[in-house]
Amino acid sequence: MDKETQKSTQRTNRQTEQEQTSWFRRTLLPILLLLLLGGAAYYIWQQRKSVETNKELATKYKEELVSEQEAKAELGEEYKVLEEENIQLQDSIVVLKSRITELSRLLKDKVGIISRNKGEITRMQNEMNRLVGEMSQLKSEKGANQARLKQLEDERFALDQRIGDLYMQNDTLENENNVLLYEIVTTEKERDNLEEKLDVKEKELAGATGDGVYQVEGEKGIQVNINAIEAEFKTVQALTQRNKKARSAKKWKKTAIEFDVIYPALDDLLNQNFSIQLVNEDTDEVISPREANPGAYDAKGLEFAFTGNPVKVDFVNWQQKKDAGTNYTIRLFFVDGAGKEVSLASAIAPVTFKR
């Protein structure tokens, strides 16, 4: 290739490069700039949106905080009212108990007087019988001593009057005792009614702030605050006979349950008794736990002693369900020292079926 041709080729290449550069500047560069500007604008928009969202969340949380504070203030007022009512009931019960004690003492005293009067009447009747016998003996004798007869007659008359007085006194005392008994029974009923109201108020008082105490006596005399017991359920799974997840009640044979008991003084619950009940919420039917052989177990719930977290229970319910519904719950109860089941409001969970 001669020199002229080489120079021409070089000029052509340079011209092509210049044209490519010019095209890049005219076409691609503006597009890139637009993309960069668009990205920046989107970033700024996202930032603004995030700021607005944060402001909205902050406003929402602030409103929720205000609502919570207002709710706490209302609960505080409710607590004060309940506390005053509680104190009034306690004072009324103390007054009634004092009145019952006083009435019982009066009744006891009057019963004692009546008993002593009856003993005195018996003694005087025996004395009268002796006087009448002596008088009969004197009258049968010739030349009876009239002065002695007159004396004996006066003594008999005095005894008869005294016996009559004691009978009248006993009648009066027995009438008074009937009145006392009626007042005692009425006062005891009033006391019992107030104690029932007090029990309700104490429960309301315990739940007014969530910090109240509703205590029951558990095993070994340990006092347990029922309102403070909660259960954090991890698993409440309906299973088939082969331990597969059940899709409905038709194949459901047992329930795998796992949960943690939450309590401020958890050690106090060790070896305390609990009970789990399985409930059909559509029919309010409590489904008894049963073994594979029908009728082997017919208790209302499955009782167990708490030995620590986590609690794992297999609730076997082989019996045929009445329907194929899936609206079932597990409920936890505390069993007190007398064997009574106390419902735990914060320990309920739905039974899960495979979807």
pLDDT digits (tens, 9 = 90+) for 132-175: 888 888 787 776 677 887 888 888 888 888 988 988 988 898 89
Task: Return d(Cα 144, Cα 251) in angstroms, integer.
Answer: 111
Mean pLDDT of the chain: 78
Q: Does residue 110 contact residue 208 with C-beta atoms inside 8 Å?
A: no
pLDDT band (50, 70, 90) for residue 51: very low
Question: What mean pLDDT is predicted for residues 305-325?
Answer: 81
pLDDT of residue 88: 82
Q: Does residue 239 contact residue 253 with C-beta atoms inside 8 Å?
A: yes
Domain 215-350 belongs in CATH node 2.60.40: yes
Residue 91 predicted with pLDDT over 90: no
Question: What mean pLDDT is predicted for residues 201-229?
Answer: 72
Q: Which of 44-58, 250-264, 274-288 has the highest mean pLDDT?
A: 250-264
Torsion of CA 181, 187, 188, 191, to 10 degrees: -170
Picking from 238, 230, 234, the residue whose alpha carbon sits closest to that of residue 351 is 238
Task: Return d(Cα 305, Cα 249) in angstroms, integer.
Answer: 28
pLDDT tens readout for residues 92-136: 888 888 888 888 888 889 889 989 989 988 998 898 888 888 888
Region of 271 on the Ramachandran plot (φ > 0 left; ψ -120 to 50 alpha; else beta) = left
pLDDT tens readout for residues 221-245: 888 888 889 899 999 999 988 889 9
Domain limits, CATH 2.60.40, in the chain: 215-350
Residue 275 burial by Cβ neighbours in a 10 Å radius (0-12, 13-18, 19+): middle
Task: Return d(Cα 196, Cα 198) in angstroms, integer.
Answer: 5
Q: What is the CA radius of gyration of the chain?
A: 47
Q: Tell me the percentage of the chain whose pLDDT exceeds 70.
A: 68
Give the pTM. 0.43
pLDDT band (50, 70, 90) for residue 260: very high
The CATH architecture that domain 21-212 belongs to is Orthogonal Bundle (1.10)
Comparing 35-44, 62-71, 229-238, which segment has the lowest mean pLDDT?
Answer: 62-71
pLDDT band (50, 70, 90) for residue 202: low
Q: Does residue 316 contact residue 251 with C-beta atoms inside 8 Å?
A: no
Domain limits, CATH 1.10.287.620, in the chain: 21-212
Q: Does residue 199 contact residue 313 with C-beta atoms inside 8 Å?
A: no
Question: What mean pLDDT is predicted for residues 280-303?
Answer: 72
**∠ at Cα 30 (27, 32), nearest 5°?**
105
Question: What mean pLDDT is predicted for residues 304-308?
Answer: 95
Question: What mean pLDDT is predicted for residues 203-229?
Answer: 72
Cis peptide before 310 (omega within 30 of 0): yes
Q: Tell me the percentage of the chain whose pLDDT exceeds 90.
A: 15
Task: Write the CB contacts of 312 (distance below 8 Å, at least 6 apart in sequence).
Answer: 256, 257, 258
Residue 274 predicted with pLDDT over 90: yes
